[in-house]
């Protein structure tokens, strides 16, 4: 049976319906197997709706797992059986070698980790299963109708998170940490344990929905679809504002600017950004607010710099560290060697997407991820130039959001975020 890994108030509420929820989850697993057999593309969409269900956890023969993992594995193996042969797992040739390199690097990192068993579980959850989901999407999402269905599933998956975050803003119910409950400093956490986790999930999907909305206006789509997407975008934006996560704000802004530049008007976008930037620099009040963030002179910025310096010093301290990093789940031990407990809490990642991969998967893993991203943007832009279809730009804008936010946070090493990342990669190649 499943247990729940939510903030305490939310968990207490769910515990009242423990049996009912567990029976529903078990029924859902059987239902997903049936849907996968009938139409795998629909099952893939349902998995996307269930991304946050990694918070339902259990053990099978003593091995920790999650509802999301079980749901994916059931769908994947039903698809394999339905396809009759393992050769059904085909993949984009452009990504064959970087994916193989990433899997090799992450596998090596299990054995260089100081915590081998936890590293093995994270390797499975952050690399093997998300990459398998990439293969599955690449093979089953074949038509424009399938792609639109996946877009709808991504959009709808944000609704429970955004709605709970908005409720938290006005009630304080279920906020993970007491320091974020007071109205003056209130930061929403929704079903997660931190405001940043809300932004990391909602950010790229919100940008996808924003670009999708522009496209619907251009083709004069049905008012019902436009209204539905608009509501989702508004709810997500409110939730993102209420997180007070500056990294999310900057990441989403970067994704929207990317979309406006390509989909609306290049010169107008550049002029608008220049005017807004000049206005913000001239106004004394905004100077006072923005300058500490831009210069990293506030406490959060200083903590980030300390994390990055400590990580770089570790990486360059020996050839072994430079090449292998700290191994999966190894950063926490590295941080304890340089952490000032009065200023920085214990963390498990350096909070920079490039340092995150370097520390977790070594230099080979970092190079593999850069290779994957290079191919992703190269292929997406080439497809856009060839056909002038905005679909590729919408997908690339989500990755822009992830990368910009990832400069100061951890946009990959989490169950829902890693599979979301590979979903976006797959969409870029469909």
Tokens at residue 163, please? 């709605």
Q: Please report where in the chains the tokens 């856009």 appear, as a residue.
A: 384
Residues 387-396: pLDDT tens digits? Answer: 666 788 999 9
User: Which residues, including other chains, have CB under 8 Å from residue 408's CB and lie 6 or more apart?
Assistant: 247, 304, 351, 352
Q: pLDDT at position 356, please?
A: 96
Q: Mean pLDDT, to the nearest integer, of 179-194?
A: 93
Q: pLDDT at position 275, please?
A: 85
**CB atoms near residue 404 (< 10 Å):** 23
Q: pLDDT at position 269, please?
A: 87
Residues 191-207: pLDDT tens digits? Answer: 999 999 999 999 999 99
Residues 108-167: pLDDT tens digits? Answer: 999 999 989 999 999 999 999 999 999 999 888 888 889 999 999 999 999 999 999 999
Q: pLDDT at position 324, please?
A: 96
Burial 139-175 (b: 16+ CB within 10 A, else e): bbbeeeebbebbbbbbbebbeebbebbbebbeebebb
Give CA–CA dist 267/366, Å, rounded.
Answer: 35
Length of the chain: 430
Residues 32-66: pLDDT tens digits? Answer: 999 999 999 999 999 999 999 999 999 888 888 99
Give CA–CA dist 161/182, Å, rounded.
Answer: 20
Determine which of 3-17, 79-93, 340-354 has the lowest per-residue pLDDT on average. Answer: 79-93
Q: Is the pLDDT of residue 421 over 60?
A: yes
Residues 261-278: pLDDT tens digits? Answer: 988 888 888 888 888 878
The DSSP string of 177-220 is SGGGTSGGG----TTSSSHHHHHHHHHHHHHHHHHHHHHHHHTT
Q: Mean pLDDT, to the nearest integer, of 282-304?
A: 75
Hey, is 297 helix, strand or coil?
A: coil
Residues 199-242: pLDDT tens digits? Answer: 999 999 999 999 999 888 877 778 888 999 999 999 999 999 99
Hey, is 56 helix, strand or coil?
A: strand
Mean pLDDT of the chain: 90
Q: Is the pLDDT of residue 346 over 80?
A: yes
Q: pLDDT at position 205, please?
A: 97
How many whole angstroms from its chain centre is CA 196? 11
Query: Domains of the chain: which residue ranges?
Result: 1-89, 95-140+296-430, 149-290
Q: Is the pLDDT of residue 295 over 80?
A: no
When pLDDT is cut at 50, 70 and 90, the band that residue 381 belongs to is confident
When pLDDT is cut at 50, 70 and 90, the band that residue 71 belongs to is very high
Residue 55 gets which letter from DSSP? G
| Nearest of 398, 399, 416 to residue 211 by alpha carbon | 398
Give CA–CA dist 87/124, Å, rounded.
Answer: 21
Q: pLDDT at position 105, please?
A: 97
Q: Is the pLDDT of residue 253 over 90?
A: yes
Tokens at residue 313, please? 């010093």
User: Which residues, including other chains, have CB under 8 Å from residue 256's CB and lie 6 or more apart?
Assistant: 207, 210, 397
When pLDDT is cut at 50, 70 and 90, the band that residue 84 belongs to is low
| Whether 310 contacts 317, CB under 8 Å | no
Q: pLDDT at position 85, please?
A: 53
Q: pLDDT at position 310, please?
A: 92
């Amino acid at each position: 049976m499943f247990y729940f890994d939510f903030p305490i108030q939310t968990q207490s509420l769910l515990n009242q319906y423990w049996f009912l929820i567990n029976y529903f989850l078990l029924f859902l697993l059987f239902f997903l197997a049936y849907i996968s057999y009938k139409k795998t593309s629909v099952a893939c969409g349902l998995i996307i709706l269930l991304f946050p269900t990694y918070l339902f956890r259990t053990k099978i023969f003593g091995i920790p797992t999650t509802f999301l993992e079980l749901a994916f594995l059931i769908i994947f193996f039903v698809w394999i059986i339905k396809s009759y042969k393992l050769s059904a797992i085909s993949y984009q040739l452009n990504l064959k070698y970087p994916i193989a390199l990433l899997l090799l690097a992450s596998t090596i990192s299990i054995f260089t980790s100081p915590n081998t068993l936890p590293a093995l579980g994270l390797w499975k959850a952050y690399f093997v299963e998300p990459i398998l989901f990439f293969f599955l999407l690449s093979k089953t999402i074949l038509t424009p109708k399938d792609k639109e269905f996946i877009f709808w599933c991504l959009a709808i998956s944000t609704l429970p998170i955004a709605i709970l975050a908005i409720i938290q803003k006005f009630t304080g119910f279920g906020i993970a940490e007491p320091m974020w409950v007071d109205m003056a400093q209130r930061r929403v956490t929704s079903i997660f344990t931190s405001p940043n986790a809300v932004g990391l999930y909602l950010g790229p999907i919100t940008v996808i929905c924003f670009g999708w909305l522009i496209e619907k206006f251009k083709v004069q789509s049905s008012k019902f679809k436009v209204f539905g997407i608009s509501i989702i975008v508004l709810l997500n934006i409110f939730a993102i504002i209420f997180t007070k996560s500056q990294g999310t704000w900057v990441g989403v802004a970067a994704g929207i600017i990317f979309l406006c530049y390509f989909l609306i008007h290049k010169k107008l976008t550049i002029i608008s950004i220049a005017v807004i930037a000049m206005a913000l620099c001239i106004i004394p009040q905004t100077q006072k607010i923005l300058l500490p963030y831009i210069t990293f002179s506030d406490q959060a910025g200083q903590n980030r710099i300390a994390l990055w310096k400590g990580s770089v010093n570790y990486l360059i301290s020996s050839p072994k560290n430079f090449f292998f990093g700290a191994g999966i789940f190894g950063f926490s031990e590295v941080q304890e060697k340089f952490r000032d407990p009065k200023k920085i809490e214990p963390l498990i990642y350096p909070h920079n997407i490039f340092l995150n991969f370097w520390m977790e998967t070594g230099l080979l893993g970092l190079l593999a991820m850069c290779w994957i991203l290079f191919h992703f943007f190269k292929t997406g832009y080439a497809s856009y130039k060839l056909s002038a279809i905005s679909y590729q730009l919408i997908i690339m804008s989500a990755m822009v959001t992830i990368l910009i936010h990832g400069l100061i946070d951890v946009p990959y090493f989490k169950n829902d975020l890693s599979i979301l990342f590979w979903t976006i990669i797959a969409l870029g190649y469909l």
